[in-house]
A and B are shown apart, each in its own frame.
Chain A
């Protein structure tokens, strides 16, 4: 079966750095997405990785290792508004997105 694993919940301090990991086992791979979802709202796109390596976009970076079936989302200089759930999703061989359950990130002052 297809499986995406992420930690259920993480806590970090305002101003710090946090890394959210995602491991996947899917039938084929056509890219990995990270989305942010604030409570009661819709998911919004953060990043897309299809090749190995690090993609940086402001305070957020996303890393991919296809051989290890592994990705992480790195958030720097955490702000209170970063409190949200972060969803990892893999585009499988049928070009359908397989979603992880999400990681709830709690930022403390």
Chain B
């Protein structure tokens, strides 16, 4: 693989279910990010990680959790999905926490 991959591409989920969105990068970037993108709004940061083993909260962290066990993987978990979490989710990475961010193809999530 080259760049960032996300899985699944799309998902329809019943409210209350648990869901993990996967993100893997092979660029050995230190920093990784999770965003959600909703129509009419800018990208909003959910959680970030500046390096393996550390994570931080972004603008809209409630209802989401992340982990960063290694450099390459940065999964995002919705513990109990709600309809307001219907969105397109993008994972991104950068070489350092000030640099150009590279984005994955996105996951389109619908919570019913």
Task: List the interface of chain A (C-beta within 8 A of B).
Answer: 4, 30-31, 33, 41-45, 48, 87, 89, 91, 95-102
Contacts and interface: CB of A to CB of B under 8 A. Distances in A.
A96 B92 CA distance: 13
Nearest to A98: B42
Contacts of B43: 43, 87, 89, 97, 99
8 contacts: A31-B98, A42-B90, A95-B98, A97-B45, A99-B44, A100-B42, A101-B40, A102-B42
A33 B43 CA distance: 13
A45 B94 CA distance: 11
A48 B90 contact: no
Interface residues of B, number: 18
Contacts, number: 41
B101 A45 contact: yes
A55 to B, nearest CB: 13
Given A48-B100, A95-B97, A42 B105 contact: yes
Given A31-B98, A48-B100, A42 B42 contact: no
Interface of B: 40-45, 48, 58, 90, 97-98, 100-106
B101 A99 contact: no
A42 to B, nearest CB: 4
A22 to B, nearest CB: 11
A91 B98 contact: yes
Given A43-B43, A45-B101, A102-B42, 9 more contacts: A33-B100, A42-B90, A43-B90, A43-B103, A45-B102, A87-B42, A89-B43, A91-B98, A97-B101
